[in-house]
Amino acid sequence: MAYGILYDYLMGQSIDGFRYFGAHFCKNDKKKKGVMFRLYAPSATDVSVIGEWNNWDPSVDKMNKIDESGIWEVFVPGLKDYQSYKFHFKNAKGKYVDKIDPFAFFSSNRPDTTSKLFDIENFIWHDDQFMKSQTRNFDRPMSIYEVHLGSWKGKVDGRNISYEEIADHLIPYMKELGYTHVECMPLCQYPFDGSWGYQATGFFSIDSRYGNPKQFMSFVDRMHQAGLGVIVDFAPVHFAKDEWALFEYDGTHMFEYSDKQHMFSPWGSCQFDLGKDPVRSFLMSAMNYFACYCHVDGIRVDAVSNLLFWDGNKAIGANTGAIEFLKRLNGKLHYAHPSLMMIAEDSTDFLGVTRPIEYGGIGFDYKWDLGWMNDTLKYYSKDPIYKKYEHNHLTFSMAYFFSENFLLPLSHDEVVHGKGTIINKMWGDYDQKFALLRNLYAYQFSHPGKKLNFMGNELASFDEWDESKSLPWNLRTFPKHDSMTRVVRDLNLIYQNEDAMKVEEHNPIHFNWLMVDNANQSVFAFERRVGNSHLIFIFNMTGNYYERYDVGMTRPGLYEEIFNSDKDVYSGWNQYNGLPIHTENGGPENKPYKMTIKLASFGACIFKYKGE
């Protein structure tokens, strides 16, 4: 079995490398308990494992080369959890170095750079019912709450709170607001806080800032028991260039590109050479580890544009080695975990990112619609006087939406680096910004596609996110800010209860524009219909108020307003439609019927069809 894993690993076909390499608690042939260490380092010689138990003496626990491909191993009896260790060897340059274990399941927190022993077996799960009911959520609601675990609640008495402590607060909050999934920003071990986890050193090590691997398993287990899914962010493009980690691991470019043109990423980190088979196995195994041992429900793959094209630049050309890696990754993980969601953070127009591999695609389940995000935020930032010239920014997304399985993100990338927060991007004075923000969230939930919001978007903070500080929870004591959480809650509830907003949402037959060309007034309307669920969505993008406004309709009958962003419970001006509305014959934009409504300034409303 071991040699089968080894062969597959070297051929770039293994998703189980973590079962063979690294440090595993076990018994040897003499039934002694200890740890089996295995290392893949083809150009290393004179290899030892050094640690607390042998006073970091390289002469004590020498490793044996068991295969000409460069596999080293040694069994050390009597070891315990949390003992620190590293590998010590002479590299290809003739220099003795101390390196972390690339497959370590646990690592010391910075500034300590050692790996730590940890027995990951025998965690008792309580989520069987949840795991059996899981799918990839194609016809289910998926409202994702993106979280940076260290700054959601912030530090307590100067320390990071643990995975379990975060769960104590996060679960009831997510249930209150109606989110279905949490997406954790990268949780692989990383040295620099300011990288947010996107420049990692330990790709199998859970972030020790918040606890050990079983504490994270407990976090996921409790989420699942509460009916909440867990998605982890994973960065397979690059890694931190610290010399004690993966960079020039055995004195050669084991993990990174060897040519200087591609060795370093646009962020200054080292780029994984995804044309190398062992590197492919390494990263596929890392993501599979999170699925197998941590029961995660989805993996969001970061910076896919930099995998599809060299440096993310289409003009330079496609990165065929990385594209093959992505296909292999998605194919193998979907085969091993049929309900696991694979999500691409991709800003390119590369065709077929979410197309199945058997039909020539890359095989992801969902792709972030960054074009929608950019166009939408640009539109909402415009003075209403000029919005008629930007009309296409709100209509263009539906021209391409059905080409991929898109997810609509308002992520952490939009609230950092001087970009301002989401509410800061809205046009207008204080009250107008809140009105437009309510409108924006209604538009995001009404538009086809899964939803993602970064933590704090629901608080309407004017201060950018800072990973070293807690979210400004005191804002909930201010009615305008607190009412924004109610907007999000109510939209999530409608989203969960209406089939028209989630079933077959990537099928164009269920979407129809009712008002698409009214650039002069900047009013939009569309309908979504699945089975008995039929909803009408209307948006006024200017400050003009209409006591009576005609919207063209395709179906006669009675319509009831189930959401209005201008209601006073949302800190609006309460210009809403109370009683159900009957359609009349003859509507604008060549529609056979019309519905006459009250349309608030910057208002967004949702009507539900109630029958003839």
The reply to whether 584 belongs to the active site is no
**In which residue are the tokens 């704090």 written?**
456
* Active-site residue, selected from the candidate residues 345, 369, 499, 505: 345
| CA–CA distance, 362 with 356 (Å, rounded to integer) | 7
Residue pair 266/303 in contact by the 8 Å Cβ criterion = no
User: What does the DSSP assignment read for 535-579?
Assistant: EEEEEE-SS--EEEEEEEESS-SEEEEEEETTSGGGTS------S
- Nearest to 370, CA basis, from 289, 304, 439: 304
CA dist., res. 297 & res. 127, Å (int): 12
218 with 199: CB under 8 angstroms?
no
CB 588 within 8 Å of CB 513: no
Residue with tokens 């965690």: 123
Helix 277-294 vs helix 2-10: angle between axes, to the nearest 10 degrees?
130
Residue count (the chain): 612
CA torsion through residues 155, 157, 160, 161, sign: negative
Tell me the sheet residues that pair with 98: 88
DSSP 365-430: SEEE-HHHHHHHHHHHTS-GGGGGGGTHHHHTHHHHGGGS-EEEEE-GGGGSTTS--HHHHS-SSH
Contact status, residue 317 vs residue 363, Cβ threshold 8 Å: no
List of residues 6+ apart from 135 with CB closer than 8 A? 339
At 484, list the tokens.
């924004």
**Taking a C-beta distance cutoff of 8 angstroms, is the pair 440, 380 a contact?**
yes
Annotate 154-170 with three-state secondary structure. CCECCECCCHHHHHHHH
Backbone φ and ψ of 105, nearest 5°: -85, -10
- Distance in angstroms (rounded) separating the CA atoms of residues 366 and 372: 14
- Cα of 485 vs its chain's centroid, Å: 21
Query: Cα separation of 73 and 43, whole Å?
Result: 15
Q: Which of 233, 242, 256, 302 is catalytic?
A: 302
Cα–Cα distance for residue pair 274/276, rounded to 1 Å: 5
Determine phi and psi for 216, rounding to 5 degrees. -70, -40
Question: How far apart, in whole angstroms, are the C-alpha atoms of residue 303 and residue 88?
Answer: 33
Structure tokens at 555: 């179906």
The CB-side HSE value for 601 (13 A sphere, CA atoms) comes to: 12
CA–centroid distance for 466 within its chain: 19
Gyration radius (Cα) of the chain, Å? 27
Active-site residue flag, 550:
no
Return the closest-CA partner of residue 345 out of 300, 286, 278.
300
Alpha carbon distance 188, 205 (integer Å): 6
Catalogue the active-site residues. Answer: 302, 345
